[in-house]
Amino acid sequence: MANDISFLTGINDPNLKMDKSGVENTGNYKVIHLVKTGTCYCPVCGRPMLKNGYRRQPVKILALPIANVPTILLIRKQKYICKPSSQCPETVTKIAEINGINHGCRIANNVKQAITLDLRRNESQKDIGEQYYVSPSTVGRIIDSLEDNFTPEKSWLPNTIAFDDFKSGRFAPSGMSMILMNPVNHRTIDIIPSRTSRAFRQYFYRHFTRRARLSVSLVVIDLYGPYRRLIRELFPNARIIADHFHVVVQAYRALQSIRIKTMNHYGPGTHEYRALKRFW
C-alpha cells in the first residue's frame, strides 16, 4: 500500500497508509484518505512513545494533480504520548510528522519543487498557479522563499553551469530573474534576483572566488546573445553552448512558420491545406 501512495502522490513515507475510505472522486477533485502512524521516539528520553489516538481533524494537504485533476490528501495523524518516568520527568506529547510535508504547511513539498522547476518555462505566476491549483500569491511566496534556501559555496562552482531567466514578479524590480543551475544533476545553485548585466557581473564577483569561476569549463545558456561577452569575462576557461531546450524551441518555431506559409500558399479548401492543418 505504501508503494501505491508513493506512486500516486510522489510522497515517500513508509508509515503513510491508505485509510478506509481510500480514494474519493468528488467531481471537481480527488481526495485521498490517508493515515499516518508508525513508531515515534520521544524527543526527551529517546524511547518509543505510546500511541494516543488520532488528531481529531485530519489535515488537508494539496498534492500534485493526478491526471490533471486537483488532488487533496486528507491525513489522519497519530498522536503520541510519553508518560512521566525516571528518564522522562514530564509528560511529552507529539503528533506524527510526514516525510515530504513540512510541519504546518498545507502544500506538499513536491508541489513546491514542481513549481520551482516550472519557473524556468517563463510562464506567469498565474499560469503556473493554475496548473497546480494554487493561487498566484502562493507561487510568489514559493519564489520568495527560494532566496533563503540557497547559500552557495563561495569557493566552488561545478564544472558545468547553466543559466535561465524566469518571470519572478515582485521578487525582482524588473520582474525577471535568473536561475543558476547545475545541469548535470539538475540542482539549482542559486537565484539571481535581477538579470541585468550589471547585477549579473556583480553577483559573480561578489559571491564566488576567481578560482571557482576559473574551474567552470562549460556554460549552458539560451540563444539570447547579450550575456555571452560577460560570460567570457567571468568564466574565461569555459566554452558556451546553447541549451537544447532553446534550440528545440527555435526549430519548432521555424517549422511552424514554414508550415503556415505552405498552407497559405495552397489556400483553404485544398487537400494540402487540410493535411498540414490537421496532421502536421
Q: 264: which 3 cell numbers?
A: 497559405
Q: Which residue has the cell 569561476?
A: 213
Nearer to Zn ion, 45 or 241 (CB): 45
Q: Which stretch binds Zn ion (CB under 5 A): 39-47, 155-163, 187-195, 269-277?
A: 39-47
Binding of residue 81 to Zn ion (CB under 5 A) = no
Nearer to Zn ion, 82 or 172 (CB): 82
CA gap 106, 108 in Å, rounded: 7
Question: CB of 56: closest distance to Zn ion in angstroms?
Answer: 23
CA gap 195, 175 in Å, rounded: 9
Q: Which stretch binds Zn ion (CB under 5 A): 11-19, 83-91, 96-104, 162-170?
A: 83-91
Nearer to Zn ion, 22 or 84 (CB): 84
CA gap 147, 191 in Å, rounded: 7
The 3-state DSSP class for residue 130 equals: helix
Interface with Zn ion: number of residues (CB under 5 A): 6
Nearer to Zn ion, 89 or 236 (CB): 89
Q: Which stretch binds Zn ion (CB under 5 A): 86-94, 114-122, 230-238, 249-257?
A: 86-94
Alpha-carbon distances, residue 48 vs 75, 83, 93, 100 (angstroms): 22, 11, 12, 22
Nearer to Zn ion, 44 or 176 (CB): 44
* Alpha-carbon 232 to chain mean position: 30
CA gap 227, 224 in Å, rounded: 8
Count the helix, strand and coil residues of the chain and give each as a percent rounded to the nearest 5. Answer: 35, 30, 35
Nearer to Zn ion, 42 or 157 (CB): 42
Binding of residue 45 to Zn ion (CB under 5 A) = yes
Nearer to Zn ion, 42 or 238 (CB): 42
Looking at this protein, which amino acid is placed at residue 53?
G
Question: CB of 193: closest distance to Zn ion in angstroms?
Answer: 45
What letters, b where the CB count within 10 A reaches 16 and e where it falls short, cover 53-63? Answer: ebeeebbebbb
Using CB under 5 A, pick the residue from 23, 64, 74, 88 that binds Zn ion. 88
Using CB under 5 A, pick the residue from 2, 23, 44, 66 that binds Zn ion. 44
Nearer to Zn ion, 80 or 166 (CB): 80
Using CB under 5 A, pick the residue from 11, 59, 63, 82 that binds Zn ion. 82
What is the sign, positive or negative, of the torsion defined by CA atoms of 152, 156, 161, 165? positive
Looking at this protein, which amino acid is placed at residue 147?
E
Q: Which stretch binds Zn ion (CB under 5 A): 33-41, 75-83, 125-133, 264-272?
A: 75-83
Q: φ and ψ at 112, to 5 degrees? A: -65, -40
Binding of residue 189 to Zn ion (CB under 5 A) = no
Q: Which stretch binds Zn ion (CB under 5 A): 9-17, 23-31, 90-98, 179-187?
A: 90-98
CA gap 225, 202 in Å, rounded: 19
Footprint on this chain of Zn ion (rule: CB under 5 A): 42, 44-45, 82, 88, 92
